[in-house]
Amino acid sequence: MAAGSIDALGQFKLTAGLGPIGRAVNFTNSNEAMLGAAIVIVAIFAIGLQARALVPGRMQALVELLYEFVRNMCVDTIGEEGLRYFPLVFTLFAFILLGNLIGLFPYFFAFTSHIAVTLTLAMFVFLFSTGVGFYTHGFRFFKFFVPEGVPGWLLPLLVPIEIISYLSRPVSLSVRLFANMTAGHVMWEVFAGFMLLLTASLGIYGAFASVVPLGLNVALAALELLVAGLQAYVFAILTCLYLHDAVHMH
Amino acid sequence: MSEGPDKTAFEQRLQAAEGAAKGPVRESAAKQAGSAQRALALAMRLGVELVAAMVIAVVIGWGLDKLFHTKPWLMIAMVPVGMAAGIRNLVRASGKPDKR
C-alpha cells in the first residue's frame, strides 16, 4: 500500500481471533475486542471497588463517577422507575464506550464500526422498550400511536406517520453509532495514506509535506475521543428516552 | 405558650437541614454541565433522525409494492409520509426534555 491506492476499508475486515481455536469456531477479531471491552469494564470495577474507602482513590472515583453519571441519566430521563432499567442502560453504555475507546488504539479493532453489531444492540433496545410498553400498559400501549387532541378525520394520515416514526428508531440508533465510528476510522486511514503517498512520490519534500496530514490526524484523534464518548452517551440517553416513552406513553 | 414560635423555628431548621442534605447547588451545576452535553448530543441526532424515517417509509412502500404487484405507486405514496415522520422525529427530538 506504500505506492498504490489508499485501502481505507481494509481495517474493518474480520479475521480469526484467538489462534487456531478461534478459527475453528469462527471467533473473529471483532469478538476478541468485545471480550476485551467486557473484561476491561469488569476489571475496572473489580479493582476500583476493592478499597471501598469513604474518600475514594483514583480508580474508585472513576467507578463512582461512571455509576453516578448513568444513574442520574436514568433517573432524570425515565423518572424514579428508571432505576429498574439502570443495569441495562449501564451495561449498554459501558460496553459501547469501551468498544469505541478500544477501537481508537492502533492495531485494535473497533467493533462498533460494524452495522451488524450496532443494529443488534439497537434492535434489542427497540424490542425491549416495546416489550416494556406492552408489559406496563397492555394493549393500551397502541394508543401511543394515536396523538391526543386531533380531529378524527386526520387519524388515517397521522397514525401511519407515528408508526413510521416509531419504527425508524432502531435505524437511527444503529446508523448513527456505526456511521460515526466508521467515518472517523476511514478519515484516519486516508490521511495516513496521504503521508505514505507523499513520501513515495515526492521523496524528501514529500516527507516534509506529510507533516500536514500528520497534524490533521493528531487533531482527529482528539475529535475521535470526543465522538467515542459522545456516541456512547447518545446511545444510552436514547435508550432511556425510549424506555421513558414505554413507561409513561407520551 | 412559647410552644408555637418554637415549633416554627424547628420547622425552619428542619427545612434548612433537608435543603442542605439535598445539595441544591451541586444539582444546578450538574444540570448546567449536562445542558452543553445534551445540546451536542442533540446536534448529532437530528440529521440521522430525519433520514431514518424516510428510509423506513420507503422500505415499507417497496415491500408492499412487491406484495401487491403495484410496482412504483405505494413507494411513491410513502415518500411524503416518510418525510412527515422525519419532521415528527425532529420535533420530538428538539422538544423540551421534560415535556416530551
User: Is any Cβ of chain A less than 8 angstroms from the Cβ of B41?
Assistant: yes
Cell of B96: 423540551
Whether residue B52 lies inside any domain: the answer is yes
Q: Which of A72, A175, A244 sits opposite B52 (nearest CB)?
A: A175
Look at residue B18 and tell me if it is in a domain: yes
Looking at this protein, which amino acid is placed at residue B8? T
Closest CA to A30 of A127, A154, A94, A118: A118
Domain that holds residue B43: 3-94
B39 versus B20: the higher-pLDDT residue is: B39
Which residue, A128, A156, A130, is CA-closest to A142? A130
* Contact state of B45 with A234 under an 8 Å Cβ cutoff: yes
* CA-wise closest residue to A92 among A228, A230, A232: A232
Residues in chain B: 100
Within a domain: residue B99? no
Query: By percentage, how much of chain A surpasses pLDDT 90?
Result: 42
Residue B10 confidence (pLDDT): 82
Q: pTM for this one?
A: 0.82
Mean pLDDT of A220-237: 92
Question: What pLDDT shows up at residue B98?
Answer: 43
Q: Is B80 part of any domain?
A: yes
Query: Tell me, what DSSP letter sits at residue A219?
Result: H
Share of chain B above pLDDT 90, in %: 22
Beta bridge mates, A16: A28
* Residue B100 belongs to some domain of the structure: no
State residue B30's pLDDT score. Answer: 53
SS in 3 state form for A221-247?
HHHHHHHHHHHHHHHHHHHHHHHHHHH
Side-chain-facing half-sphere of A2: CA atoms under 13 Å: 5
State how far the alpha carbon of A101 is from the alpha carbons of A108, A209, A237, B80, in Å. 10, 30, 18, 40
Distance between A66 CA and the closest CA of chain B, angstroms: 14
Query: Are the C-beta atoms of A209 and A173 separated by less than 8 Å?
Result: no
Q: How far apart are CA A21 and CA A207, in angstroms?
A: 43
If one counts the domains in chain B, the total is 1
CA distance A93 to chain B (A): 14
Tell whether B67 is covered by a domain. Answer: yes
Cβ(A2)–Cβ(A196) below 8 Å: yes
pLDDT of A201? 85
Q: Which chain A residue lies closest to B51 (C-alpha atoms)?
A: A172
Q: What is the pLDDT of residue A215?
A: 92
Q: What are A28's strand-pairing partners? A: A16
Mean pLDDT of A38-53: 89
> Do the Cβ atoms of A172 and B89 come within 8 Å?
yes
Helix axes B24-68, B3-22, angle to 10 degrees: 50
